[in-house]
């Protein structure tokens, strides 16, 4: 069974226990987990109308929740974090803020809150069913039916990170608790591997004064396995980090030969904040995916005709992603964006494990028509990508030669090719569930082409 990325919290909930009080119970029974469970049972679950055995299970769940949240060890002794909570237990505002900080930094809490914000921005309803899918798209797993996100939201709400009983995130409170905004978290996620590694290496030195950038790059290479072309270090890494406010840089004025840059961290780059955030980001799925998750379909379709080629390219990527998400496909990777065409095409790869495993290639083209060559290129790649299905999406038309070629491929192989044109996109934009009608139409067409001659 895959391990949950969110902490188990059943019965360790602010709606069931008092955090200051249960901390005192842990202190009173330090090292004796049986005695601790007994006191928890007597204090919180004795009045439950259930068997004594079940009351014991509830108390055990509360203990396991404290372990999962990193507050106590298995023998009911405090962790270092638990000792800190115990020392401030009488100041509840400070207590809950400290727990929220721990959740946000070390228990995927920032991924959790940004996922919810992205879902709301895209107009998607947030509930336990949709949230589980949203978190899966970010590489965060927890068991089906688990209370994990509900308990996490309740603890964060105690610190004001959520507004009351709603799923609405209080961004100002996150910045107050961490000293860093959710925008900065998204910004970190969008940095390249070289920039993330450079930040971590610089933070790990613990030095706040000027240091040679090339030495930090060497440290990052040795520690995190990334490579830095020396001559392009400023362009590849330093300029972006300086613009984002994480470092200051200056050119050295002494010595012979090429003058390396000197760098030093700003107050924004705090090791105790940045390091756990970047480690949290690294465990997620492709950060490029996150921007696409918050885009409503109507907005994407409007931007496909933008004069800005970068905007067009992102809109095409978002279109492909949204179409496949409507069918609950699992995102795998962005394979290719056609730089030479000004962002006119993009290829995405999705998978599905429903009933049988399948891999899907999807290409979106912002051109007047899909040609035979466009389809042939995708068919040729199926051998290398081991794909079962191709989806060709055009904001214009599907050319007649392209359709005839697709028909021939489907008749002679096990590949399915789905064709969607501008009219289909207009229909889906008006009524998103109508994507099923488009796929059903294409499936019936493929079935006719693949009929077996059993006479």
pLDDT along the chain (455 residues), means of 10: 84 95 96 95 92 94 95 95 96 96 91 90 87 85 89 96 91 87 74 85 81 87 80 86 89 65 82 69 60 72 79 79 77 57 60 81 87 91 86 90 94 92 86 82 90 71
What is the pLDDT at residue 24? 96
pLDDT at 451: 83
Supply the DSSP string of 370-420, one letter for each residue: E-HHHHHHHHHHHHHHT-SEEEEEESSEE-HHHHHHHHHHHHHSS-EEEEE
What's the CA gap between 198 and 212, in Å, rounded? 12
pLDDT at 267: 79
pTM: 0.65
* pLDDT at site 266: 86
What pLDDT, on a 0 to 100 scale, did the predictor assign at position 228? 85
Q: Which of 75, 73, 1 is nearest to 35 (CA)?
A: 75
The pLDDT assigned to 313 comes to: 75
The pLDDT assigned to 236 comes to 85
The token pair at 189 is: 């996620």
Q: Cα–Cα–Cα angle for 168, 171, 172, nearest 5°?
A: 125
pLDDT by residue (tens digit) across 393-416?
988 899 999 999 999 999 999 999
96-128 pLDDT, tens digit each:
999 999 999 889 998 899 889 888 888 888 998
> CA separation (Å) from 243 to 229, 247, 261?
20, 8, 15
pLDDT at 341: 36
């Amino acid at each position: 069974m895959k391990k949950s990325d969110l902490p188990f919290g059943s019965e360790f909930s602010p709606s069931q226990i008092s955090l200051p009080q249960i901390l005192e119970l842990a202190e009173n029974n330090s090292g004796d987990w049986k005695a601790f469970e007994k006191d928890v049972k007597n204090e919180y679950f004795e009045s439950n109308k259930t068997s004594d055995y079940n009351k014991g299970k509830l108390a055990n769940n509360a203990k396991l929740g404290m372990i999962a949240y990193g507050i106590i060890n298995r023998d009911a002794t405090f962790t270092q974090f638990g000792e800190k909570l115990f020392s401030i237990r009488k100041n509840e505002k400070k207590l809950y803020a400290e727990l929220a900080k721990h959740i946000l930094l070390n228990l995927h809490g920032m991924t959790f809150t940004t996922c919810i914000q992205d879902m709301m921005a895209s107009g998607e309803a947030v509930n336990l069913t949709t949230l589980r899918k949203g978190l899966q798209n970010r590489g965060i797993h927890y068991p089906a039916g688990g209370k994990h996100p509900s308990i996490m939201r309740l603890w964060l709400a105690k610190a004001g990170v959520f507004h009351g009983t709603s799923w609405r995130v209080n961004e100002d409170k996150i910045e107050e608790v961490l000293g860093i905004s959710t925008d900065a978290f998204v910004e970190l996620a969008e940095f390249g591997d070289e920039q993330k590694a450079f930040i971590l290496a610089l933070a790990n030195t613990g030095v706040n004064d000027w240091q040679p950038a090339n030495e930090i790059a060497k440290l990052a290479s040795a520690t995190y396995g990334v490579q830095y072309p020396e001559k392009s270090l400023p362009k590849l890494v330093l300029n972006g980090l300086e613009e984002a406010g994480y470092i200051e840089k200056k050119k050295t004025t002494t010595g012979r030969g090429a003058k390396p840059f000197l760098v030093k961290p700003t107050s924004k780059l705090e090791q105790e904040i940045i390091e756990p955030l970047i480690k949290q980001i690294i465990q997620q799925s492709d950060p490029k995916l996150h921007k696409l998750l918050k885009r409503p379909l109507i907005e994407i379709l409007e931007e496909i005709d933008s004069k800005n080629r970068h905007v067009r390219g992102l809109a095409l990527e978002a279109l492909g992603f949204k179409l496949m998400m409507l069918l609950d496909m699992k995102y795998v990777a962005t394979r290719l964006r056609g730089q030479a065409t000004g962002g006119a095409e993009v290829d995405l790869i999705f998978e599905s494990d429903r009933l049988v495993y399948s891999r899907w290639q999807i290409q979106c083209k912002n051109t007047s028509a899909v040609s035979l060559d466009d389809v042939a290129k995708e068919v040729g790649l199926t051998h290398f990508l081991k794909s079962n299905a191709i989806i060709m999406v055009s904001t214009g038309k599907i050319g007649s030669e392209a359709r005839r070629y697709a028909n021939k491929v489907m008749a002679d192989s096990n590949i399915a090719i789905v064709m969607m044109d501008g009219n289909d996109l207009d229909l889906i934009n008006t009524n998103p569930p109508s994507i099923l009608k488009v796929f059903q139409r294409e499936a019936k067409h493929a079935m006719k082409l693949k009929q077996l001659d059993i006479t």
